[in-house]
Amino acid sequence: MKLLEKKVAAVTGGGSGIGRSVALLYAENGARVCVSDIDGEGGKKTVQQIEEAGGEAFFFKADAGKAEDNRKMVEATVEKYGALHIAFNNAGVTGPQALIGECSVEEWDRALRINLSGVFYGMRYQIPEMLKAGGGVIVNMSSVLGKVAFEGSSAYVASKHGLLGLTKTAALEYSGQGIRTVAVGPGFIQTPMISNNLSEDEVEMVRQMHPIGRLGKAEEVAELVLWLSSDKASFVSGAYIPVDGGYLAR
């Protein structure tokens, strides 16, 4: 039996990178998947890849930083598949690259809206449906920068730190009602977020910060997310689990 047989999952930021890898792996393991992204082309491509591999999925265009979009996405998933059992709240942005004293207020607000408030908005509407379904799993995308700082990335660091507090609070509130909530903390992963925002020199700099000697792959993060989303992780709730090539061991 597949790990997620008869489960319904929602993935935000599913149009590329880690989100796409998780959506593909969820479907491969039996889940029916709502792929959500603000990027329609990328999201539809993920659905196409799932369907070509024999899985079942649909695309829902949404801005993860808007409460109403999150509500509509959850409603669409339940309407199409009858329930919601798993949510991977993955959508995020890097935020402004600037010292705190020079940081754009507007860009700060945008990063916190998408990376932190957006996850709250998702959970706000995911949790009631999971309770109706008899339980579920929420996996939130944090970062190694949810545990340590990084110069010039105050908004991203603050949002990912805040996400850990939100995740732990949800675990206290809902673990007894059958909803496990966990956070994953990737190191620097080879995704469009890296390639579109860092120069070759900056990529080399962060590569050297990983004792394993390389950046991670989206598929490696997806394997952890899959395990956490399955019954094999049935006693894991409120945890923050890094997948970072030794980054936090420094």
pLDDT digits (tens, 9 = 90+) for 78-128: 999 999 999 999 999 999 999 999 999 999 999 999 999 999 999 999 999
Q: Where are the domains of the chain?
A: 8-249
Question: Does domain 8-249 correspond to CATH entry 3.30.230.10?
Answer: no
Residues marked as catalytic: 156
Overall average pLDDT of the 155-184 stretch: 98
Nearest to 3 by CA among 85, 89, 119, 90: 85
Which amino acid is residue 182, in one-letter code?
V
SS3 44: helix
Burial of 203 (0-12, 13-18, 19+ CB in 10 A): middle
Position 173 scores a pLDDT of 98
pLDDT digits (tens, 9 = 90+) for 33-70: 999 999 999 999 999 999 999 999 999 999 999 999 99
| pLDDT class of 194 with cuts at 50, 70, 90 | confident
In whole angstroms, give the CA distance from residue 5 to residue 76: 20
